[in-house]
Amino acid sequence: MTSRESARPTRLGGLWAHRNFRSLLIGETASRLGMNITAVLLPLLAVDTLHASPWMIGLLTAAPWVPWLVIGLPAGAWVDRLPRRSIMLCCNLISAVLLLSVPVAWWLDALNIWHVLAVAFLTGTTAVFFSTAYSAYLPSLVDKADLMEGNAKLQAAEQTTRVAGPGAGGLIAQFVGSATGLLFEVLSFLVSTVCLLSIRAVESRPARQPRPILREIADGLRFVTGDRYVRAITVFGAALNMALAGYQATQIVFLVRTVGASPSLVGILMAFGGVGGILGGLAAARLSRRLGTARALLYVQLVAAPFVLLIPLTHQGSRLALFAIGSTMMMAGVVACNVIIVSFRQSYCPTDLIGRVTATTMFVNFSTIPAGALLGGAMNTFLGLRPTMWVVCLGLCATSSILLSQPLRGLRDLPISQQVPAA
């Protein structure tokens, strides 16, 4: 069997009929569902059970992203050397064991906030390798022409879990407790592992002579900083992630302590962001075909970003709808942009560099997340929750201006190879 199950699918249903892609989709969806349940359970565990301060909540938000600063760049070089599916399988099993330690410590009455922070940091370390390998693995399964469809389906499925996950997380916290509820993510990692093992495609990677790892890291850095299109989009992603991290460090504490929402209501309100993500994932390919990938990237942000300014106006009663509308539109724009950007990177970058380019762009993009989360936690402490929400939402709006800069301005489509794109 070749590295891809077939050429571009012509069967009814497109990639839905692609067995290996379907296995990847099911496994990733299960894993993402568990992660989105945990995204509610860990902060609620810290706030309601361990009585963590806003500053500690900021640390907890930052902890999974700090490993990108430490091993993000060498991870790309290792991913280009090793079988990517094997990396993903190891990461799943290690993460399952780490998360299992939290309910075990809780049952033994030995759980504290430092244990939770350590688990968040270590599972973030496995996520560095998994995310890099996962992004580089998809082009081994499907044809280049199907990358936009594949990424759109994966993103739509992920956002579906953002709808189901937070609501389920709130209910789980209310009925079985935040610590015990983490067993759901342990199970999701095991399901993901089984699905990865069922993939039958043989992964092919270009043969190349091993080189010193610093040289391989330098190759990825040189490509990202030297290519004007990759560089511009990477700067946009870094700025957007910094503002989003501040928002995420604030939103649950804001809803619980300022708005007065119950854990189950917090889960329901956060699910609206997932609804927006589904809409953005489904619309990305259609908008790209109609407007062009570069124009779609710009227009989506300019239309969606202003709605985020409704979120700081949230209060009890009918004004809870402001949070729902604002988060729906914000995530629709973020996910649509993500589908376009990831598809561009996978088709544009040389095959033998894709792991390092992916790791380098993620290193830059994710390196701003700890800073944004810590800054959000500090502002929550010194400015208050509602003023901080205004600051981070204004920051989210401001990032759209980066897309107006050269070299993206005036383009219809982003390039699919290192040639001049259509204007």
Q: Where are the domains of the chain?
A: 14-404
pLDDT one-digit tens code per residue, 268-305: 887 788 788 888 888 888 898 899 888 999 899 889 98
pLDDT band at 308 (very low <50, low <70, confident <90, very high): very high
Largest CA distance in the chain: 64
Per-residue model confidence (pLDDT) at position 1: 38
pTM confidence score:
0.72
Pick from 40-44, 104-108, 242-246: least confident: 40-44
Q: Write b or e for each residue in 358-371: b if 16 or more Cβ atoms lie within 10 A of its Cβ, otherwise e.
A: bbbbbbbbbbbbbb
d(CA 239, CA 248): 14
Pick from 101-110, 315-324, 364-373: least confident: 364-373
d(CA 318, CA 328): 16
pLDDT one-digit tens code per residue, 45-93: 888 778 877 778 778 877 887 888 888 888 888 888 888 888 999 999 9
Q: Which of 295, 6, 296 is nearest to 146 (CA)?
A: 6
d(CA 342, CA 364): 15
Alpha-carbon torsion angle 88, 94, 99, 101, nearest 10: 170
pLDDT one-digit tens code per residue, 35-44: 878 878 888 8
Residue 392, Cα to own-chain centre: how many angstroms? 18
Per-residue model confidence (pLDDT) at position 204: 62
Residue 208 neighbours by CB distance under 10 Å: 10
Alpha-carbon torsion angle 403, 405, 409, 413, nearest 10: -50
Average pLDDT along the chain? 83
Q: Which CATH class is domain 14-404?
A: mainly alpha
pLDDT band at 8 (very low <50, low <70, confident <90, very high): very low
Residue 420 has pLDDT above 70, yes or no: no
pLDDT one-digit tens code per residue, 354-405: 888 888 888 888 778 878 888 988 898 888 899 999 999 999 998 888 887 7
Residue 12 has pLDDT above 50, yes or no: no
Q: Which of 283, 384, 387 is nearest to 328 (CA)?
A: 283
pLDDT band at 9 (very low <50, low <70, confident <90, very high): very low
The two tokens of residue 369 are 């997340």
Per-residue model confidence (pLDDT) at position 94: 94
d(CA 271, CA 419): 41
Higher pLDDT, 7 or 158: 158
d(CA 286, CA 276): 16
pLDDT band at 423 (very low <50, low <70, confident <90, very high): very low
